[in-house]
Amino acid sequence: MSIVAAYVYRDGRRVREASLTEEGLALGAGDFAWIGLLQPDQRELRTLQGRFGLHPLAVEDALSAHQLAKVEVYGAELFVVARTAELVDDHIAYGETHMFVGPSHILTVRHGSARGHTELRAQLEAAPGMLAKGPDYVLHAILDFVVDGYAPIVDAIEESVLALEHRAQDTFLSREDIRRIFTLRRELLRFRRMLGPMEELANRLELLDLPCIDTDAKPYFRDVADHVRRVVSRVDGLREGLASVFEVASLLEQQRQGAITRKLAAWAAILAVPTAVAGIYGMNFDVMPELRWRYGYYVVLGLIAAICGLLFLQFRRSRWL
């Protein structure tokens, strides 16, 4: 069975375990059921469809997955899809949490999401005052839980960007570093595309009159929308930061290459002096200046050393060496 947890709550406290039988799902006045499923098969969802009267289109979406974040109204019930995300190495893996919200139930269906709701359920059960307000507050808690999972992704990528910035300032970026920059930019672009529908989802829950959403719960969904907007702002900043890292790395590399080129040119100019003199005296003419002089060899060597020394000092003064 794919049911992770299924309980009936009354006044914010767990009353009993809920099962898929007719008797197990019988709810009293003021009760609501919170059932969590992980990648259920068609038979299990069809059973819940019959027990709670779920809309067949919503059930089809929950079975097929691969949905954008959205909220849809089916009569007196809501069908909400939230996108989860998790950073694996430098890649962001996505999942989905589908929620069927009715006056007396909330059913969650997770696909590809590594973070379970066990800890969240325990936190809500420890605060029965919030849990007693009904399924819409559980919906807010799940959405807030999903959105809070985005922060570690942004934090990890931010650390990677800072490390790349320091590396770019200290040395040439390797081919692997350049590939990583473009990988992170691509992942952030996809992440940004995913965050747009999530923000719209939270705004709709806050601003529209929807079934199963109490007026007092709307500020909580505004808080979720604010969290998404903060993540969006940080993602945009990281994308700009990665672009800056690449530009700075390119500029610094050009500067280092220019410095190396100047050093090579300076040494070539210095070495050109003895090369030229040696070339002249290597012509083997009979009549040449100082050719027969006893000290001519030492004078020429001294002259070469003096000229090379003057050139060296000049290049040092101009910071070419």
Longest dimension (CA), the chain: 124
Spatial distance between the Cα atoms of 314 and 241, rounded to a whole number of angstroms: 40
In a 3-state reduction of DSSP, which class is residue 195?
A: helix
| Model pLDDT for residues 278-296, shown as the tens digit of each residue | 776 666 666 666 666 666 7
- The residue-averaged pLDDT of 192-205 equals 92
Q: What are phi and psi of 14, to 5 degrees?
A: -70, 125
Instruction: Work out whether the CA dihedral 63, 84, 32, 207 comes out positive or negative.
Output: negative
Spatial distance between the Cα atoms of 43 and 59, rounded to a whole number of angstroms: 11
Is the predicted pLDDT of residue 207 greater than 70, yes or no?
A: yes
**pLDDT value of residue 22:** 56
| Model pLDDT for residues 23-73, shown as the tens digit of each residue | 556 677 778 889 999 988 888 888 888 888 899 999 998 988 788 899 999
Spatial distance between the Cα atoms of 157 and 29, rounded to a whole number of angstroms: 48
Share of the chain above pLDDT 90, in %: 32
**pLDDT value of residue 321:** 64
**pLDDT value of residue 70:** 92
Note the residue count of the chain.
321
- Could you tell me which residues are beta bridge partners of residue 92? 87
**pLDDT value of residue 79:** 94
Quickly list H helices, the chain. Answer: 42-52, 56-64, 118-125, 128-131, 135-148, 150-170, 175-207, 218-281, 296-317
Give the predicted TM-score (pTM) of the model: 0.78
**pLDDT value of residue 187:** 92
Question: With left for phi above 0 and alpha for psi between -120 and 50, is residue 39 left, alpha or beta?
Answer: left
Confidence grade of residue 12 (pLDDT, cut at 50, 70, 90)? confident
How far from 138 is each of 2, 108, 155, CA to CA, in Å? 20, 10, 27
How far from 152 is each of 156, 159, 256, 303, CA to CA, in Å? 6, 11, 36, 68
Residue predicted with more confidence, 247 or 241? 241
| 158: Cβ contacts below 8 Å, ≥ 6 apart | 234, 238
Residue predicted with more confidence, 290 or 101? 101
